[in-house]
């Protein structure tokens, strides 16, 4: 499989180069040259595959011959061997037409592990095969950093530096990053906001000589390998529904921030998975819900909510959807992105807007409504959901087409957000792995000033 840019100014490249490139060099995002179609008969034949075997089957056509079947199996087995549940992403039934797909059984109790365990092993594999030095640099508002660290800690040939806003991530998220003992991990608690962290990372990536000299690579959710790893669990969920006796297409309700997770569902649908509606659930940062309703994509200022991983205004993967909306034609995509740059908005109307509205339903969940949804789910179904998942529960109940079953994606374990649960007098049992974090020394943490110079000094010391 070869990969092209959504903006069209890049010669097609192979899978491994696409993983290493991250964002396309022309400023666009990488997408597969063609989307592989899975015939219904093949899908039926996959019904009883284990998660790792299914992952190999779904990913193989996207990778082509750059990784042998045996190596891919090894990578996948290693990536999902760290999950605490045998099924990797188990499906639970809530009631007669709602299911929950639990994506939080990986090392850091958030769904990002599904993609980042795989990406971490992939980086390890590439470094071993090609001798490439891999130094990962990223900024996190919480979940991504912990998950990325868990994906590469202790791996030879790889070092990882993560910036996070000092005092502004949850205690569990912080401990997950700072108590790691491996020497190839550096976490910098920046005395500023998440935006400061991102600005500094961007500035460092922008210094081309620095970036080359220190072999900096990104881990943000625009990496195509992350999207592809997420496509797998849409197939796993559908097949689990089949085994549970469901017939015909299903809806998926997805708590959405950067549009990565729901875009993976869109890709699964294009591959032929019987998906009826993709339900886009947002918190008060509702840019995507407004786009679905009006065709206007216009970032506003970020609001703080109980679901911080969705406190985002510019959904970086959205451009990939635009590419398909424009008939896989890069020219209008480049024009729309230029329009966003120039005028601060993108406007889509007519037939394109009808397509958007038939691809997605959307619902915005307010802050109090999110807590209400947590409480209602607990009393009605005796099932605790975290604030991100709660948005998807509420969206499924409100705009999910009632004639089809809906799978709700559960993106974090409720124990990661115990503070929000307590606001509705719900207590969460902390899993032993999380409880154990509180006794460990924070040996990987350094506090730095929010300047590029201060961060650069720490990085040079760490990477030299």
Ligand X SMILES: *Cc1c(COP(=O)(O)O)cnc(C)c1O
Select the span of 44-52, 107-115, 116-124, 185-193 touching ligand X (CB under 6 A). Answer: 107-115
> Beta 216-217 vs 134-139: how paired, if at all?
parallel
112 annotated active-site? yes
Nearer to ligand X, 235 or 259 (CB): 259
Select the span of 33-41, 105-113, 157-165, 347-355 touching ligand X (CB under 6 A). Answer: 105-113
* 98, 112, 320, 444: which one binds ligand X (CB under 6 A): 112
Counting DSSP H helices and E strands in the chain, the numbers are 20, 15
Torsion sign, CA atoms 219, 459, 109, 69: positive
CA atoms within 13 Å, Cβ hemisphere of 257: 21
Given a contact cutoff of 8 angstroms between Cβ atoms, the answer to whether 221 and 316 are in contact is yes
C-alpha span between 8 and 80 (Å, rounded): 35
For residue 337, the surrounding DSSP H or E stretch is: helix 330-343
Contact pattern from residue 209 through residue 238 relative to ligand X, giving x for each residue in contact according to CB under 6 A and a dash for the rest: ------------x-----------------
C-alpha span between 43 and 225 (Å, rounded): 22
Nearer to ligand X, 386 or 397 (CB): 386
C-alpha span between 407 and 254 (Å, rounded): 9
* 110, 188, 231, 459: which one binds ligand X (CB under 6 A): 110
Measured in degrees and rounded to the nearest 5, phi and psi for residue 110 equal: -135, 155
For residues 329-388, which are near ligand X according to CB under 6 A? 388
Nearer to ligand X, 67 or 229 (CB): 229
258 in contact with ligand X (CB under 6 A): yes
Nearer to ligand X, 276 or 311 (CB): 311
Question: Which one, of 284, 298, 311, 285, lies nearest residue 193 by Cα?
Answer: 311
* 353, 411, 413, 448: which one binds ligand X (CB under 6 A): 411
Beta bridge partners of 185: 160
Torsion sign, CA atoms 317, 319, 325, 327: negative
Nearer to ligand X, 240 or 385 (CB): 385
C-alpha span between 258 and 317 (Å, rounded): 6
Select the span of 63-71, 257-265, 396-404, 436-444 touching ligand X (CB under 6 A). Answer: 257-265
For residues 20-39, which are near ligand X according to CB under 6 A? none
* DSSP state, residue 258: S
256 in contact with ligand X (CB under 6 A): yes
Nearer to ligand X, 256 or 292 (CB): 256
* 255, 265, 330, 405: which one binds ligand X (CB under 6 A): 255
397 in contact with ligand X (CB under 6 A): no
Residue partners of 456: CB distance under 8 A and separation at least 6? 204, 210
106 in contact with ligand X (CB under 6 A): no
Smallest distance from ligand X to CB 387, Å: 8
Catalytic residue annotation: 112
Interface with ligand X (CB under 6 A): 110-112, 143, 221, 255-261, 309-310, 388, 411-412
């Amino acid at each position: 499989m070869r990969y092209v840019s959504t903006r069209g100014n890049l010669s097609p490249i192979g899978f491994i180069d696409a993983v290493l490139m991250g964002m396309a060099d022309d400023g666009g995002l990488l997408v597969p040259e063609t989307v592989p179609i899975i015939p219904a008969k093949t899908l039926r034949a996959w019904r009883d595959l284990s998660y790792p075997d299914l992952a190999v089957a779904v990913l193989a056509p996207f990778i082509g011959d750059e990784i042998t079947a045996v190596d891919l199996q090894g990578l996948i087995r290693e990536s999902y061997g760290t999950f605490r549940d045998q099924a990797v992403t188990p499906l639970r039934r809530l009631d007669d037409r709602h299911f929950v797909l639990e994506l939080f059984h990986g090392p850091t109790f958030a769904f990002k592990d599904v993609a980042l365990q795989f990406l971490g092993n992939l980086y390890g594999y590439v470094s071993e095969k090609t001798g490439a030095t891999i130094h990962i640099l990223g900024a996190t508002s919480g979940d991504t950093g912990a998950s990325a660290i868990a994906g590469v800690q202790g791996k030879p040939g790889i070092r990882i530096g993560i910036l996070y806003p000092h005092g502004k991530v949850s205690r569990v998220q912080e401990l997950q990053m700072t108590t790691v003992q491996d020497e190839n991990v550096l976490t910098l608690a920046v005395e500023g906001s998440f935006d400061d962290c991102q600005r500094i990372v961007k500035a460092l990536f922008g210094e081309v000589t620095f970036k080359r000299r220190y072999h900096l690579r990104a881990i943000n959710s625009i990496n195509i390998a992350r999207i592809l790893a997420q496509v797998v669990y849409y197939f796993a969920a559908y097949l689990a529904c089949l085994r549970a006796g469901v017939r015909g297409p299903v809806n998926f309700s997805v708590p959405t921030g950067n549009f990565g997770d729901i875009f993976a569902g869109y890709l699964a649908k294009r591959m032929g998975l019987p998906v009826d509606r993709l339900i886009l659930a947002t918190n008060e940062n509702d840019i995507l819900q407004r786009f679905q309703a009006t065709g206007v994509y216009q970032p506003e200022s970020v609001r703080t909510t109980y679901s911080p991983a969705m406190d985002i205004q510019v959904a970086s993967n959205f451009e990939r959807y635009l590419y398909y909306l424009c008939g896989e034609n890069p020219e209008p995509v480049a024009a729309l992105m230029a329009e966003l740059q120039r005028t601060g908005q993108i406007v889509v109307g007519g037939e394109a807007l009808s397509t958007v509205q038939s691809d997605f339903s959307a619902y915005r969940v307010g802050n109090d409504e999110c807590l209400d949804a947590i409480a209602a789910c607990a009393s009605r179904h005796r099932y605790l959901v975290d604030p991100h998942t709660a948005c998807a529960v509420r969206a499924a109940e409100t705009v999910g087409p009632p004639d089809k079953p809906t799978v709700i994606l559960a993106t974090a374990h409720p124990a990661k957000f115990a503070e929000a649960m307590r606001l509705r007098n719900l207590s969460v049992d902390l899993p032993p792995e999380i409880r154990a974090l509180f006794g460990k020394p924070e040996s990987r943490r350094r506090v730095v000033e929010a300047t590029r110079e201060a961060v650069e000094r720490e990085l040079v010391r760490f990477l030299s």
